[in-house]
Structure 1
Amino acid sequence: MEDWRPVERAQGYLPIADHGLVGDGRTSALIGRDGAVSFLCVPRFDSAPLFASLLDHRRGGTLLLAPARLRASRQRYLPDTAVLVTEMRGPEGTVELTDAFLLDPEARLEDDARAGRGELLRRVRVTQGVAELRCHLRPGPGHDVEAGGDGWVLRGPDRVPTARLRASRPLPGPSGTLVLEAGDELVVSLTWDRARPAADLLPARAREHLEATARVWRRWASHVVADVPHPGLVRRSAITLKLLDHVENGAIIAAPTSSLPEYLHGSRNWDYRYAWIRDTAYAVFALRRIGLPMEAKGFLNWALTAAERDTRPLVLYDVDGLPPPDEVEDPYLEGYRGSAPVRWGNAAARQVQHDVYGELLDCAFQWAAIGGRLDPARWEHLALLAERARTAWSRPDQGIWEVRTQGRPFTYSAAMCQVALDRAARLARRLDLPGDIEGWRRDARDLARRVLEQAWDDGAGALTEHLGGGGLDASLLALPLRRVVPADHPRMAATARAVADTLGAGGGLLYRYLPRVSPDGVDEPEGAFLLCSFWLADNLVGQGRVDEAAELFERLCSYASPLGLLPEQIDPSDGSFLGNFPQAISHVGLMSTAVVLARALRGVRPELATHAWFRG
């Protein structure tokens, strides 16, 4: 458990890292070390926010339970669960706050779409002394709160009830204080699914509900492999990914938040409450290898089904597999620490990104590897994508970093077109499917050669961001992972060295690219992109530099929050978190590298299989 720390804010905001995530596979909540529900959308991930004090501490809305004059706190998860415990000290006493989205006691998280009950249960227990407990309910813009029945009703703009709040003791209005003594308990329930019965709020029953939910999580987490470096962090990453997994169809959203800045007071504030096709293949690799084949299969099926709905697949979809809403800027919320704009929706869905062809064919390749069927209609669609990849690689697009300026022929996009052709040929040959097998194989070999030749810059001594030369780009570290170029190929190894030397931010962190030559036309700094450092570790393993990879992995794990959560980006100057949080692809990077390292350590240095990592 982390040590007690003062509750410190900057411009009225807790650090991003000072939050835990709870959820039920339909939506989730961020809960701060100050006892506040700081971000919650209901009834699902991409709904309008009910509470968003993380994006505006005055007007965003919150549900707070904490000692008045809070002095220090700490957070932990019950082991191998998504049940969060926040301990808080006031001037005269200490309280323990337990938060969880309740689950059906008989649910199996790997395949039960009705596991969640649409209910956040908050249990406060005074563990020492006397606590003047502050209770504060304030929904965000467009919502009202009014007395109703045995609690409070929150209504949206259309006056339809959005949620209902009940408590085991009478509350002093939407905002007020209660004096509780050692041993006293308060149970608060927030519900939004009116089709499900709400929990019994008697303290003893509330404890049973929480214990049952913890058992469901532990039963699921027991399937996660333990013979990897930092197994505790790997399990926490798996649980975090499961919290972002839409239980009804297997979609995994990129993050549960919107508009947390990639740099304070910069303009890169995006809505990540959607599922990216690009993330699927990476996530599935990790999920399959840490013991979660059902989640891998669900995400693959979601991605392939979503892409089939469009003649030209989108880059990202909402959890239903439909285009996300148009991107808009919020006129009311000031943004985290004043970092506007706050955006809802994501315009990148309409961009041209040629890597999507390779992402989908790679998904299909993994789908077939786990026994998934490629019926004639699905294969016809996939073969068409392979045909498009034959020419798309040479045309400009917006690339993996989703630039909002004029496109260019990005090397990563061309490489993923090579993946599309290679996987199409392999699928057709192995499954005896119709198609231009020899032509696809020939074009895949030719495109791999073109990438090595046309993206190479003699001056930089590296492959560069786009064909014909350009700046260094950490996305090229993914080429060996997708089997386009071997990690130990001289030009790939040189590229990895150049990226580490030039884009290195210290402490094992990497920038995606240098701000002064950023491909998106935004001349402003940003944080170091955590996923790229995991990719570098994978490259080091592929080059046989296993000890260096292990050392880098150790440093990267040290950046996790006390709860084991990872952001999208990290500010190298102070280690603070940037970008939407927690970030699925960062946790995927940690899991994937743990698997790669575990295999390498056993194959190259078998004695390291007994390293302390494997026991932690």
Structure 2
Amino acid sequence: MALRIEDYALIGNCESAALVGRDGSIDWMALPRFDSHASFAALLGTPENGRWQIAPAVPVTRVTRRYREGTLVLETRFETEAGTVLLVDAMGRREGHGDVVRLVRAESGSVPMRVEIVLRPGYGTVVPWVSRLADGRVAAVAGPDRYVLDTTVPLRGQDFRTLGEFTAEEGADTAFTLTWSPSFHPVPQAVDPAQIIELVTEDWTDWARSHRTETAGDWVEVVQRSLITLKALTHYETGGIVAAPTTSLPEQLGGPRNWDYRYCWLRDATLTLYALLTSGFLEEASAWRDWLIRAIAGSPDQMQIMYGIAGERRLEEYEVPWLAGYEGSTPVRIGNAAAGQLQLDVYGEVLDAMYQARRLGLAPDDNGWNLERALVGHLETIWQQPDEGIWEVRGGRKHFTASKVMVWAAFDRAIRSVEEYGLAGPVDRWRGVRDQVHREVCERGFSAEKGCFTQYYGGTSLDASLLLMAMVGFLPADDPRVVATVKAIEDHLLEDGFVKRYDETGNVDGLAGGHEGAFLPCSFWLADNYVLMGRLDEARALFERLIALRNDVGLLSEEYDSVAKRQVGNFPQAFTHVALINTAHNLSREFGPAQHRAESKETGAAVS
């Protein structure tokens, strides 16, 4: 059985990633890209579906972990009665190759060690052909993939696994390097594993030093770790940021809410830009903005809510029944059918992101405004339709209130781009649509019976996405209707002090039953609303409780199950870390991202 989600740590090379457990086992790895077929998939099945474990062969009395400061180089320390061993894990990147380097160093004593490698490309199904190369390295080939293992440890094959034993002696290092390359290319040259670890350490350290985080106030180290995680999930060539490096880690333990998150969501655009720009990450923010423009380029009626890492559109979803699922959570899904949904809120996110890019100083893109105008023109023709909403529900389309709020934001940002930056556009017509949307939301999205805004028109259920209303400037945070809505969310969607996305009993997502964890980005949004409402002590207290949920190396998943006291959902989750960064800046600055985005003097939001 796989470990608890929070017992894993991330290593990566800004092209692919792996999860390393506290037991020294890499239980998830996809090479050469985040969305490639996993070659280690024990996380979603059993060790027979692929893993790579290096651990003491004697009982372990204590395990501690840390990242080297300012890096993604992981150090796991195993304490035993025979001595203490340090396992260092890192991923490097060469032209056309990916290197996973693992180095074992005895800090004291003499510790018997064991290594087991089960390579299973194709999400845990394919047994590769293993052979010995002339230079002594071991090669495993399966279709287009070649893996070359380099180590001085004697290895043997047994039951389609590669096994080895060695002794970690004080003063000596034992290294392993696993290199991926296309099977039809020449075998890659051997590398010095210790040198790779030092080069990776140096590269991350230089990057971290060049991006200052002093603006995070009391949470500099917390924010830096989240920024490093965000960088690790950013593809070095395309600029695309994957939502998570994993698929099908459940939002509900044992349930069906299991999705593939190894893609790039438009919904994350604005908040991601804020997190990057307010932290001084101009290069990364520009790359993300440029990815956004390339991805959505084309006919506006074909815009998707998510894309592949390079902007790919076809993300067909299928199930892999041979994987038993994380703790029996099935089905395991590859691809994501939500790519074909209508989610009106993404128009608001895209237009807001492009507007904020101008406002925050990114160099303009020559094609950006023409594309934005086309999107707004298309939105004029479809905004009155129901959609699947921000949570990508599979229970049928509705007129979701948050979707319409973001429709308003799309027109508002287009108008402001014209008025503030001298761009050309039919601003009078857009203003008429914007005001119409605003009136409709206030009339149909507000329930007189409940005294607050509701999840969808005519409904009675609550939804945490309503926290966006004040954050995007639709209504001021002190508007009585916003205050009442926040109070209703506090009364009905808080679980152990954290925010759930919506009322599960309504079955709006088409997946009845079960218990979903609290949604961590929404919990950060509640803290942001507290900031906007002047409830700073409550905002700070909630933020401190949220960052206390991070695992021992500072990582967060998508959700937190307050009943099981565990992280759930795909891990680590970029959007959660983005929300953390923004909330830290909101609490540390007189005019943070929340105040900046919701600034009311320019919104033109007439109170209805």
TM-score, normalized by length of structure 2?
0.90
Q: Which of 589, 594, 607 in structure 2 is aligned with 1:599?
A: 589
5+ residue gaps in structure 2?
593-608
1:601 Cα shift?
A: 9.3
Letter in 2 for 1:220: W
**Aligned equivalents of 2:37 and 2:14: distance in 1?**
17
1:171 Cα shift?
A: 2.8
1:134 corresponds to 2:114: yes
Alignment of 1:160-559 (within 5 A): 160-173=144-157, 174-193=162-181, 198=189, 200-201=191-192, 206-222=193-209, 223-228=211-216, 229-311=218-300, 312-369=302-359, 370-375=361-366, 378-506=368-496, 508-524=497-513, 525-559=515-549
Letter in 1 for 2:130: E
Alignment of 1:37-52 (within 5 A): 37-52=26-41
Runs (4+) of structure 1 exceeding 6 A deviation are: none
1:446 Cα shift?
A: 3.1
1:433 Cα shift?
A: 2.8
Q: Which of 102, 105, 111 in structure 2 is aligned with 1:122?
A: 102
Superimposed CA distance per residue, residues 532-565 of structure 1 (whole angstroms, 9 cap, x where no aligned partner): 0100000000001111111111111100111000
1:133 Cα shift?
A: 1.1
Letter in 1 for 2:147: A
1:233 Cα shift?
A: 0.9
**Aligned equivalents of 1:94 and 1:195: distance in 2?**
39
Superimposed CA distance per residue, residues 520-541 of structure 1 (whole angstroms, 9 cap, x where no aligned partner): 1222221110010100000000
5+ residue gaps in structure 1?
1-11, 105-113, 603-616
RMSD: 2.1
User: Does the CA contact (< 8 Å) of 1:315 and 1:350 recur in 2?
Assistant: yes
Cα gap change, 1:178 to 1:450, in 2 (>3 Å): same
User: Does the CA contact (< 8 Å) of 1:85 and 1:96 recur in 2?
Assistant: yes
**Aligned equivalents of 1:338 and 1:90: distance in 2?**
32
1:90 Cα shift?
A: 4.0
User: Does the CA contact (< 8 Å) of 2:316 and 2:335 recur in 1?
Assistant: yes
Superimposed CA distance per residue, residues 59-109 of structure 1 (whole angstroms, 9 cap, x where no aligned partner): 3201111112442312110111100001123452321100111268xxxxx
Cα gap change, 1:578 to 1:147, in 2 (>3 Å): same
**Aligned equivalents of 2:187 and 2:487: distance in 1?**
56
1:120 Cα shift?
A: 1.1
User: Does the CA contact (< 8 Å) of 2:383 and 2:407 recur in 1?
Assistant: yes
User: What percent identity do the matched residue pairs reach?
Assistant: 39
Cα gap change, 1:413 to 1:321, in 2 (>3 Å): same
Letter in 2 for 1:266: G
**Aligned equivalents of 1:344 and 1:70: distance in 2?**
37
Superimposed CA distance per residue, residues 191-242 of structure 1 (whole angstroms, 9 cap, x where no aligned partner): 11468965534xxxx4343222212111111213123231111000000000
Cα gap change, 1:486 to 1:97, in 2 (>3 Å): same
Cα gap change, 1:374 to 1:13, in 2 (>3 Å): closer
1:374 Cα shift?
A: 4.3
Letter in 2 for 1:384: A
**Aligned equivalents of 2:535 and 2:591: distance in 1?**
11
User: Does the CA contact (< 8 Å) of 1:395 and 1:409 recur in 2?
Assistant: yes
Cα gap change, 1:199 to 1:238, in 2 (>3 Å): farther
Partner-residue secondary structure (3-state), 1:400: coil
**Aligned equivalents of 2:168 and 2:547: distance in 1?**
39
User: Does the CA contact (< 8 Å) of 1:452 and 1:491 recur in 2?
Assistant: no
Partner of 2:602: none
Partner of 1:95: 85
**Aligned equivalents of 1:20 and 1:268: distance in 2?**
23
User: Does the CA contact (< 8 Å) of 1:505 and 1:572 recur in 2?
Assistant: yes
**Aligned equivalents of 2:345 and 2:187: distance in 1?**
42
1:426 Cα shift?
A: 1.5
1:155 corresponds to 2:141: yes
Partner of 2:564: 574
**Aligned equivalents of 2:491 and 2:324: distance in 1?**
37
Partner-residue secondary structure (3-state), 2:53: strand
Letter in 2 for 1:165: L
**Aligned equivalents of 1:385 and 1:209: distance in 2?**
46
Letter in 1 for 2:191: D
Cα gap change, 1:260 to 1:501, in 2 (>3 Å): same
1:294 Cα shift?
A: 1.2
**Aligned equivalents of 2:171 and 2:147: distance in 1?**
29
User: Does the CA contact (< 8 Å) of 1:389 and 1:418 recur in 2?
Assistant: no
Aligned residues: 574
**Aligned equivalents of 1:469 and 1:319: distance in 2?**
37
User: Does the CA contact (< 8 Å) of 2:450 and 2:460 recur in 1?
Assistant: no
Partner-residue secondary structure (3-state), 1:133: strand
**Aligned equivalents of 2:128 and 2:79: distance in 1?**
31
Superimposed CA distance per residue, residues 168-197 of structure 1 (whole angstroms, 9 cap, x where no aligned partner): 333344113223333332100011146896
**Aligned equivalents of 1:164 and 1:276: distance in 2?**
34
Partner of 1:67: 56
Cα gap change, 1:598 to 1:408, in 2 (>3 Å): same
TM-score, normalized by length of structure 1?
0.89
Moved more, 53-62 or 414-423: 53-62
User: Does the CA contact (< 8 Å) of 1:392 and 1:417 recur in 2?
Assistant: no
Letter in 1 for 2:246: T
Letter in 2 for 1:214: T
Superimposed CA distance per residue, residues 563-594 of structure 1 (whole angstroms, 9 cap, x where no aligned partner): 00001001111320100000000000100000
User: Does the CA contact (< 8 Å) of 2:233 and 2:242 recur in 1?
Assistant: yes
